[in-house]
Structures are given as structure tokens and as C-alpha cells.
Chain A
């Protein structure tokens, strides 16, 4: 699904990622653990090019998205991202938050088809063998209605239907983060990236967010989670990466990572957090 080859990220003369080669496979739930400052967030943010890699490749769906000439927006549609600070759109209601991207993207695709159709029609005026005019697909009303129905279905799934029309400022942290998750899901992503999704939450709200992520994992959603919740990583992840000083220094099943490991740094890290 996502493959990084010798991924390097530098800020000035500070090298944060020192050449990471790994692969996130289809259907895997990968947890990334490691001391703070080790480059976990940076690595995750490179996966969907929120940070541009200094060198190396990121192959997503067979395309090197680290190449600056690809249209990154097209690829990001298929990668959901959830932030520590939720980042719901403050000027939109919950429902609008969820619908915005699906509607905008579908409408812009539709405009593209209309443009093509216009030129086909124009060319057809001079052609003997008329080419078929591309179909516009759904009407704007249909696009919106579908996005709305999907948004409401997702809201119902996390039990927040009654919050559809409120603004984010009235929600609790846990509610915000659950909505941020389904906002990403509304785009039908192939992979979900979580950057410490529960670190900004009050302890009593951590559980509700983790259970939404757990459910996703059970549906076999491919995901990468940077987390400090070791218990959760152990339970949900199919694979755990340990990052230390810009490199992945341990990579294995939860049993291998949390069991008796040879890796001195990993052992000392685990002894501190467990």
C-alpha cells in the first residue's frame, strides 16, 4: 500500500529521518512507538506529503508521491489523517465538516468531465464519426444528498447523530476526535494515518476514541498509528515499529516488540512507559 525507500527528512542541518525503508501492507495495522522527538510524527506526515521528503521515495498505489510533479491532492483523497489536535473546521457544523471534502471533490471531478464533454461536442461538430459525449454522472443535488446520507450514516455509527448541526466549539474533545475520524472516513480512504489521536484528550475520553479506532481495525482498515498507548498498540496493532533517533530500529509483531527483546534502547524505552 505505502512503501518508503530511503526516506530522509532534514530541517536545516537537523536530520530528523535518517533513511527509512519500510512498507505498510494492505490490511495491516501498524503502530509506531518511540521516544518523543524520535521523528514519529515527521515520518507519518511524510507518508501523505504533509511534510515534503528531503530525499527518498514514497510509493503509494504504485506512484512515487514524493515526486513534486505528481498532483498530491489526488492521492491524499485516498489517505485519511487524524491529528492530535482534532482540527475540525471551526466555521462549519459537524455535518458540513464531514461533507465538505466529498462534495468538493465530486463537484470538481464533475466540472472536469463537463469541460471534457464540451470539447468533445465542439470537435464533434467537425467530425464525421461522432465521438460519444462523456456522461456527467451525478447531478450536484445527488452528490450533496449522497454525501449527506453517508455523513449521517457515519455519525450514527459513532452515536453522535444529534450533534449533526452544532459547531465544533460546543463538543468535548472525545466527540471532536471521533468526528475527525469519520470526517476522514467519509472520503473512503484506503489507509488511515493517526498521529497520537488520544494525546490531547482528558483521560476519561480516551476510551471512546480508541474504541472507534479498534472497530476500524476489526474491519481490516489499513492504518498507521503513532501512539503512546502501549496497551492499545499491543492489542490492536498487527505490527509495531519502534523509532529511535530518526530510524526504525525494531519492527515486528506486538509479541516480538513487547516480549523480551534484545534491543537495549527499546527495552529501556518500554521500561519507562509501561
Chain B
């Protein structure tokens, strides 16, 4: 126990007095949240597009070709670990394409692409849960498939899957802990840096776990709040 107190004192010395917290919160936490949130946003856009292709009627050749492309896409991003995708982008793809992308941008792009694959499945379920009569009504009025999808179906689908999207955000937050593989500084990295100074990792990593738990708990609360609001708006209107 004395040992623990000593370690805690050592950690606190670096964290609070040595102002390591500035880097933890200002860089690590910010990057973690930025990657997770932008990843989710990009994922929603890509996922919606893929889901729209997946549920499109398939008489014509173009939708069928697109459908196959989307299946490949989803297969790749769900079939490989995100670390592998990060490494491929950062160390293989960018050099091959000959452009330099900052590691934070790399992470945002890869997390977005990855999340798009997962969100597409969620969104497809959401779209299929909307009454087919809604699409019929839009089409019967002379609106195109795309417009009806965008203005009528997707908004209702999103409302149905909002809680599930919250879970996707939680998964993304936790997945960001691997971004240091491509030299991005996230929560994990900043705590490791603290540990590196005295080769003492127990307290920094415990503290890090605590921070992840708090973030996830906050997101969970947010989802509950939004859910309650949505349910209320259903009743009022």
C-alpha cells in the first residue's frame, strides 16, 4: 500500500505539478475525441450512401455494379483490423500515391472509412425498418428515388438507429487507442509518455482506463438524453 501511495505521488508530481495534464487533455484527449467524432460523421455519410445502394432496386446494371463495389468495401473494412488499415494507409498507400498526409488526418480518414462499413449495416437496418409506404408516397408524388430517400426515408431511419449510432461512437472512442501505431498522439500515447519518464506505468494506465470509462459513461448519458427527447417529441407532435 505504501508502494501504491508512493507511485501515486510520483504520478501526480508529473501529471499535476509537472503539467503533463496539459498534454493529456489538450492533445491526447482532443485527438481521441476528434478522431472518434469525425470518424463517426464521415462514417454516417459513407454508411448512408452504401446503405442507399444496398436497398436500391436492382434491375439496372449500374446499381448492381455499385452494389458489388459496396460489398467489397464493407468486406475489406470489416474483415481487417483497424490497425492494419491504418498501417496500410500510412506506410503503403500514401507513399505509393506520393502524397504526405499528417498522421491525425490519416486517422480521421481511416476511422471514417472504417466506420462507414459498420454504419452502412446499421443504416441499412434503419432504412428497412421504415414503412415502405413512405417511399411509395414520395415516388407517387413524382419525387425521385434519391430525393425521397434523402428527405423522407433517411431522416426516419436515423431516428430509429440513433441509439445504435451511439454504440458505434463508443466503439470508435475505444478503437482510437491504437492510433499511436501511425505516430498519432492520443490518450494512450500521452499516458505512456508519462510512464516512460520513470518506467512506472501502473498508475498512468489505471488513470487512463478511468478516463476511458468516464468518456464512455458520458456518451451513454448523452444517448439516453437524446432518446428521451425523441420519445417525447413523438408524443407531443
Q: Are both chains from one complex?
A: yes
- Number of contacting residues on B, CB 8 A? 20
**Is the CB of B234 closer than 8 A to any CB of chain A?**
yes
- Residues in chain B near residue A86, CB distance under 8 A: 133
Q: Which B residue sits closest to A183, measured CB to CB? A: B141
Whether A50 lies near B152 (C-beta < 8 A) is no
**Is the CB of B18 closer than 8 A to any CB of chain A?**
no
Instruction: Give Cα A50–Cα B131 distance, bound, in whole angstroms.
Output: 16
CB distance from B146 to the nearest CB of A (A): 10
Whether A170 lies near B237 (C-beta < 8 A) is yes
**Is the CB of A74 closer than 8 A to any CB of chain B?**
yes
Q: Which A residue sits closest to B135, measured CB to CB? A: A87
Whether B143 lies near A83 (C-beta < 8 A) is no
Instruction: Give Cα A13–Cα B134 distance, bound, in whole angstroms.
Output: 28
**Is the CB of A105 closer than 8 A to any CB of chain B?**
yes
**Which of A73, A75, A92, A166 is in CB contact (< 8 Å) with B143?**
A73
Instruction: Give B71-100 as 1s and 0s: 1 = Cβ < 8 Å from A's Cβ atoms.
Output: 000000000000000000000000000000
Whether B137 lies near A87 (C-beta < 8 A) is yes
Instruction: Give Cα A75–Cα B159 distance, bound, in whole angstroms.
Output: 32
Whether B142 lies near A87 (C-beta < 8 A) is no
Given A48-B140, A91-B159, A169 and B133 contact (CB-CB distance below 8 Å) = no
Whether B134 lies near A90 (C-beta < 8 A) is yes
Q: Which A residue sits closest to B133, measured CB to CB? A: A87
- Residues in chain B near residue A238, CB distance under 8 A: none
Whether B141 lies near A77 (C-beta < 8 A) is yes
Whether A187 lies near B142 (C-beta < 8 A) is yes
Q: Which B residue sits closest to A90, measured CB to CB? A: B156
- Residues in chain B near residue A143, CB distance under 8 A: none
Whether B156 lies near A76 (C-beta < 8 A) is no
Given A83-B136, A87-B136, A169 and B237 contact (CB-CB distance below 8 Å) = yes
Instruction: Give Cα A80–Cα B141 distance, bound, in whole angstroms.
Output: 7
Instruction: Give B130-173 as 1s and 0s: 1 = Cβ < 8 Å from A's Cβ atoms.
Output: 01011011111111100100011001100100000000000000
Q: Which A residue sits closest to B144, measured CB to CB? A: A73
Instruction: Give A69-109 as 1s and 0s: 1 = Cβ < 8 Å from B's Cβ atoms.
Output: 00001111111110101111111110000001100110000
Instruction: Give Cα A79–Cα B134 distance, bound, in whole angstroms.
Output: 17
- Residues in chain A near residue B147, CB distance under 8 A: 104
CB distance from B32 to the nearest CB of A (A): 33
- Residues in chain A near residue B144, CB distance under 8 A: 73
Instruction: Give Cα A230–Cα B237 distance, bound, in whole angstroms.
Output: 36
Q: Which B residue sits closest to A81, measured CB to CB? A: B140
**Is the CB of A181 closer than 8 A to any CB of chain B?**
no
Whether A91 lies near B152 (C-beta < 8 A) is yes
Whether B140 lies near A76 (C-beta < 8 A) is yes
Whether B151 lies near A100 (C-beta < 8 A) is yes
- Residues in chain A near residue B133, CB distance under 8 A: 83, 85-87
Max count, chain A CB within 10 A of own CB: residue among B137, B143, B234: B137
Q: Which of A103-159 contact B (CB under 8 A)?
A: 104-105
**Is the CB of A184 closer than 8 A to any CB of chain B?**
yes
- Residues in chain A near residue B139, CB distance under 8 A: 50, 73, 76
Given A87-B133, A89-B134, A91-B156, A167 and B237 contact (CB-CB distance below 8 Å) = yes
Instruction: Give Cα A101–Cα B137 distance, bound, in whole angstroms.
Output: 10
Given A100-B151, A169-B234, A169-B237, A88 and B137 contact (CB-CB distance below 8 Å) = yes
CB distance from B192 to the nearest CB of A (A): 46
Whether B140 lies near A50 (C-beta < 8 A) is yes
Q: Which A residue sits closest to B141, measured CB to CB? A: A101
CB distance from A250 to the nearest CB of B (A): 28
- Residues in chain B near residue A85, CB distance under 8 A: 131, 133
CB distance from A107 to the nearest CB of B (A): 10
- Residues in chain B near residue A83, CB distance under 8 A: 133, 136-137, 140
Given A166-B237, A167-B237, A170-B237, A89 and B138 contact (CB-CB distance below 8 Å) = yes
Closest A-B pairs by Cβ, 7 of them:
A167-B237, A77-B142, A87-B137, A101-B141, A81-B140, A87-B133, A76-B142
Listed by A's residue number, 26 A-B pairs whose Cβ atoms lie within 8 Å are A48-B140, A50-B136, A50-B139, A73-B142, A74-B142, A77-B141, A77-B142, A83-B136, A83-B137, A83-B140, A85-B133, A88-B137, A89-B137, A89-B152, A91-B152, A91-B156, A91-B159, A93-B237, A100-B141, A101-B138, A105-B142, A105-B143, A169-B234, A180-B137, A187-B141, A187-B142
Which residues of A are at the interface with B, using a C-beta cutoff of 8 A? 48, 50, 73-81, 83, 85-93, 100-101, 104-105, 166-167, 169-170, 180, 183-184, 187
